Amino acid sequence: MEKVTVKIDGIEVQVDKGTTVLEAAKKINKLIPTFCYHEKLPIFGGCRMCLVYDVKSKRSIIACGSYVYDGMEIETENQQILNDRKFILEMLFTRHPLDCPICDKAGECDLQNWGTYWGPQNNVLPITPFEKIRPEDDWESDYLEYVSNRCVLCIKCVSVCDNINQSHSLFQLERGFETLISPVTKPMDSSSCEMCGLCVDICPVGAILFKPFKYNARPWLLNETFTHCSLCSLGCPVVIDHDGKKIYRIRSTAELEICAKPYLGYDAYNTNRLKNPKIQGKDVSFDNALEFIGQIISQNPSKTALVVSPYLSNEVLEKINKLGITTTSIITLDLLPLLEGFGDYNPPDFEEIKNAEHYVVIGDDITDTNPVITYYMKKRVVYIGEQLGRIKKLYPNFIQAEGRGIIEKLKENVEEGSVIVYSSYFFGEDAKYLGEVLRKLQEEKNCKVVIVPPYPNGFGIVNNLKRISSFVKTLDKILSGEIENLVMFGEEISLFVEEEKLKEIFSKLKNKVLFTPFDDGLALVCDVVIPLNTWVEEDGNYDFFTGQKKSKTSIKNSFKNTEIIDKILKHINPTSNLIEGFESDCTIPEWINRFKTNIWDASYFSLRSENLTNWKIKNQEVLNER
Ligand code: SF4
Ligand code: SF4
Ligand code: SF4
Ligand code: FES
């Protein structure tokens, strides 16, 4: 790459040809104020906040949209630029309500910051703050609110919605001083809006608000934890804002990768939590409950089975190996047979996936199961699957098929070098067959295969557990009396087993033990229940679809999931005679709830978030009508 040398405020910097002045200035930590610029969005150049002075051409230029040339000399803070900045801020302040004390963005607002450094420092026009100058626009949403007078018309919200998640849900209404940002259709909660919150996060001022956060906290009093969302296998980078006890919001980082699950669902962690261990509904201490479980296991290890969840971290899974009892997981129903058919699977290079020209998406609606991966599929996409609601909107190139018909259509429609993206849909033999076909397409048509399970750590189970028994066979053993004690570690098996069958299975068990973060569902019917941490409360590594990433603690509980297993181990003598290896479920009985496992509403998480569920219902109702 050809290099050019540019001088910024007297400091020489060498950068690649094609670099903007703003990017070059960042390299030497020069702060140039911006409103409409974001590194992941196309250059708009509308706000003029980033003006700098080009000494050679003797004029002010925008730093975000001007490219460096060899020998260029830039001044970022000469008197002309300081005057320009002040003038732009004066113009914005004339119509801004200056209602910082009641604005949610205060403390993290670019207008406030730039005003402090470069603004007029006084009210330049005799206009009373709070006076409304522009018309308001009601977005008719339970979650998002637009305050027109605070808007600086940088258009980043429209751009992020068009260019990142491609929902195209916002547009500019009217012209000139009357310009507003408005949803394309109202009510907004049943529009094309994905409720990803990116427009709220990217707005440089408090013009778009997330209503559940409104008046709830001052941003500077909250702690920020930069981590990876562990609600599906993408592991998107997110920020959790919390006070150590409660989560106030979960938002995107500069990577702009987030979906509605953490954005609307942040509240799931604050409510309905199981606080204390219980035996037969009565609160007991951790020590007593874990000793009791230790006794159950050690009295009859061969009659005890453990179900582990793909929401657990690698650290927990590693320790589970030591328990020495039959261990199973719902991944034996879908991911394991798929991998069995495919053979050695290596995670894809994400950059390569992002830059692909042609995608074939098969199976479930990934705009629901793994939304953020769809943000990168801006080029040709063929979707093959059942007529599922939300995917139609993004991918009109839709081939309707169901069951193995999807795999046959895949074979017909795949092109040389296509990226094939699969999340979930197939079980047992069908999953295994899909795995075999995918392997063949990889070898014969040079396709890239991307497997993105709907749960975060299915690959973690494969990579960390030494043995996995069949889920179906384990439940059959309960029915035949071979297994008497079932320990469910973070797993709600009621989601995967038909209700009547589950009742029959439970009626055969002597002891039903559930480790769960939430005080609902099976926690209400199990003999022993013990609280667990979720990904926001305990550090942990997860094997996401492109490899391992860590999620970090935001809320600290007095216990750790890993310590819970250590304590159980103190009370048992683990057997070491279990055969290592994985047993997948190729024959799936009717009582396995195939479809419920794969839709977002039934996921471990969204059931618990009222925000998410309500929005989803509203949105789905309208999609069904269309
Ligand atoms: S929440 Fe997301 S999808 Fe909805 S308008 Fe904002 S950016 Fe667009
Ligand atoms: S609402 Fe925010 S992001 Fe959108 S144009 Fe106004 S200031 Fe910019
Ligand atoms: S796509 Fe998955 S990992 Fe990314 S934000 Fe959504 S749920 Fe979290
Ligand atoms: S940030 Fe450069 S013109 Fe807006």
Mean local confidence (pLDDT), 55-84: 97
Strand (E) or helix (H) holding 250: strand 247-252
Q: What is the CATH number of the domain that holds 286?
A: 3.40.50.740
Distance 71 CA to ligand 4 centre (A): 23
* Same domain flag for 397 and 426: yes
583: its two tokens = 């047993």
Let me know whether 464 and 582 are in one domain.
yes
**Strand partners for 67:** 20
Are residues 411 and 437 in contact, defined by beta-carbon separation less than 8 angstroms?
yes
The answer to whether 318 touches 543, Cβ cutoff 8 Å, is no
Q: Are 482 and 538 contained in the same domain?
A: yes
Instruction: Give me 497's structure tokens.
Output: 């087993």
Ligand having the closest approach to the CA of 199: 1
CB atoms within 10 A of CB 620: 16
Domain end position, chosen among 456, 473, 498: 456
Same domain, 391 and 356: yes
Residue 256 lies in a domain: no
Give the nearest ligand 4 atom to 22 CA: 2
Q: How many domains does the chain have?
A: 3
CA distance 537 to 312: 12
Band (pLDDT 50/70/90 cuts) for residue 315 is very high
Q: Are both 397 and 485 inside the same structural domain?
A: no
Q: Which residue's CA is the nearest one to ligand 2's atom 3?
A: 203
CA distance 4 to 24: 10
Which structure tokens are listed for 207?
């013009």
Kindly state if the Cβ of 236 falls inside 6 Å of ligand 3: yes
Q: Which of 77, 92, 122 is the last residue of a domain?
A: 77
Do 325 and 340 share a domain, yes or no? no
- The answer to whether residues 346 and 441 belong to one domain is yes
**269 in any annotated domain:** no
CA distance 234 to 354: 13
Per-residue burial over 403-432, b if 16 or more Cβ lie within 10 Å, else e, is eeebbebbeeebeeebbbbbbbbbbbbbbb
Residue 438 lies in a domain: yes
Closest residue to atom 5 of ligand 3, CA basis: 258
CA atoms within a 13 Å half-sphere pointing along the CA-CB vector of 313: 24
Measured from the alpha carbon of residue 186, the closest ligand is 1
Residue 258 maps to a domain: no
Are residues 463 and 571 part of one domain?
yes
Q: What residue spans of 95-197 are helical by DSSP H? A: 110-118, 156-163
Looking only at Cα atoms, what is the longest distance across the chain?
Answer: 88
Ligand nearest to the CA of 63: 4
Going by CA atoms, what residue is nearest to atom 4 of ligand 2? 157
Pairing state between β 144-146 and 51-54: unpaired
Relative orientation angle of helices 110-118 and 79-94, to the nearest 10 degrees:
130
Residue 132 has pLDDT above 70, yes or no: no
350 and 388 part of one domain: yes
Cβ atoms of residues 303 and 485 within 8 Å = yes
Domain membership flag for residue 497: yes
User: Does residue 16 belong to any structural domain of this protein?
Assistant: yes
**What confidence tens digit (pLDDT) does each residue in 550-609 have?**
999 999 999 999 999 999 999 988 766 778 899 999 999 999 987 665 555 666 777 789
pLDDT for res 10: 97
> Does 523 fall in a domain?
yes
198-237 confidence digits (pLDDT tens):
999 999 999 999 999 999 999 999 999 999 999 999 999 9
State the average pLDDT for the chain: 92
What does the block give as tokens for 256?
A: 């702009």
Distances (CA, A) of 306 to 121, 511, 522, 528, 574: 65, 12, 15, 14, 13
Note down the domain range covering 587: 278-333+459-599
Is residue 49 lining ligand 4, measured as CB closer than 6 Å?
A: yes
125 pLDDT higher than 70: no
Model confidence pLDDT, tens digit, residues 426-471: 999 999 999 999 999 999 999 999 999 999 999 999 999 999 999 9
User: How many angstroms does the Cα of residue 516 sit away from the middle of ligand 4?
Assistant: 49
State pLDDT tens for residues 187-196: 999 888 999 9
Q: Considering the domain boundaries, does residue 156 fall inside one?
A: no
The verdict on 468 and 408 lying in the same domain is no
Domain end residue (candidates: 50, 77, 104)? 77
The length of the chain, given as a count of residues:
626
